[in-house]
Amino acid sequence: MADPLSVASGVAGLVSLTIQANQLACKYVAEVSEAGETALQCLRSLSLLRDVLAIIHQTEQSEAVASIVTRESDLISPVELEKCKQNVERVRQRLRALFQDDGKVKRRKALTWPFQSTESARLIKQLQDFRDNLTSITAADSLEISAKSHAVISDTQKDVGSIKATMQDGFRDEEARRLLTWISADDTECWRLGAGATIPVGNGNFFLDSIEFKDWQISAGGNLWTHGVPGSGKSVLMAQAISHLDQRGAKVLSHFCDHRDPSTQSPEQVMRHLIKQAALHSEVVLEELRACPEYISSKRSGRSLRKEEAERLLLGICLLKERFVIILDGLDECAEQLEGVEARHHLLRLLKLAAKDARILAASRHLADIDANLSCHAQFEVRAPDANLRDYAAERLTGLEKRMPSAASLTPTVVDKVVKDADGM
pTM of the shown model: 0.54
pLDDT in tens, 278-323: 988 888 888 889 888 888 888 888 788 888 899 999 999 988 877 8
CA distance readout (Å), 25 to 18, 19, 89, 159, 251: 10, 10, 12, 53, 88
CA distances for 395 relative to 75, 202, 203, 235, 307, angstroms = 88, 9, 11, 22, 48
Show pLDDT as tens, one digit a residue, over the chain (425 residues): 444 444 455 566 777 788 888 888 888 777 776 667 777 888 888 888 887 777 776 666 665 555 555 444 455 677 777 888 888 888 888 888 888 777 777 766 556 677 777 777 787 777 877 877 777 766 666 666 666 666 666 666 666 566 555 544 544 578 888 888 888 877 655 444 433 444 454 455 788 989 999 999 988 888 999 998 887 778 888 888 988 898 888 889 998 888 788 878 888 888 999 999 898 888 888 888 988 888 888 888 878 888 889 999 999 998 887 788 999 998 888 878 776 677 888 889 888 888 888 899 999 989 999 999 888 889 998 876 666 666 666 666 666 555 666 656 666 666 666 656 555 45
**How far is Cα 133 from Cα 28, in angstroms, rounded to an integer?**
27
Per CATH, the number for 211-382 is: 3.40.50.300
Segments making up each domain of the chain, as ranges = 4-163, 211-382, 384-425
Angle, CA 66 vertex, CA 60 and CA 67 arms, to 5°: 170
Measure the CA–CA gap between 83 and 382, rounded to whole angstroms: 105
The pLDDT assigned to 196 comes to 40
Closest Cα to residue 200, out of 397, 395, 345? 395
Distance, in Å, from the CA atom of 356 to the CA atom of 300, rounded to the nearest integer, reads 34
Nearest to 338 by CA among 404, 257, 232, 236: 257
User: Taking a C-beta distance cutoff of 8 angstroms, is the pair 418, 389 a contact?
Assistant: yes
pLDDT tens-place string over residues 28-72: 777 776 667 777 888 888 888 887 777 776 666 665 555 555 444
CA 68 to chain centre: 31
What count of other Cβ atoms lies within 10 Å of the Cβ of residue 341?
A: 12
Of 205, 209, 201, give the one whose Cα is nearest residue 393: 201
β-bridge partners, 386: none
Q: What is the pLDDT of residue 274?
A: 92
